Amino acid sequence: MNVFPDFDGLSGISELREVAGALLMFVLVVAVLMLIVSAICWAIGAANGNYQVATKGRIGVFVALGGAILAGAGVAWLNWLVTIGGQL
């Protein structure tokens, strides 16, 4: 009995990479816009002595940076999994 793995079973990898790339672009555009708006709010709040606006702006900046980092890490993880799957 000859049993071999089906190497054609991963036929949709190129589409998966395209979808992941499109999602990464969308997340990064939103993160950059959020970073700009939050930084402006942080600066205006700090300049006018409004600590509530400054705090919310600071939190927004950190959330935008964290979202961009997680999106990049997610794509790197997906590429690693696809590479590992192709080697099995």
> Domain range for residue 79?
17-86
Residue 12 lies in a domain: no
pLDDT, one tens digit per residue, over 26-36 is: 998 999 999 99
Number of domains the chain is built from? 1
Residue 75 lies in a domain: yes
Nearest to 46 by CA among 55, 37, 38: 55
Residue 77 lies in a domain: yes
Q: How far apart are CA 27 and CA 7, in angstroms?
A: 32
Residue 10 lies in a domain: no
Residue 66 buriedness (CB in 10 A; 0-12 / 13-18 / 19+): exposed
- In this prediction, residues 37-61 reach a mean pLDDT of 96
Cβ neighbours of residue 61 closer than 8 Å, sequence gap 6 or more: 35, 38, 39, 42
Residue 23 lies in a domain: yes
Where does the pLDDT of residue 78 fall: very low under 50, low under 70, confident under 90, or very high at 90 and above?
Answer: confident
Residue 49 lies in a domain: yes
Greater confidence, 45 or 17? 45
Residue 56 lies in a domain: yes
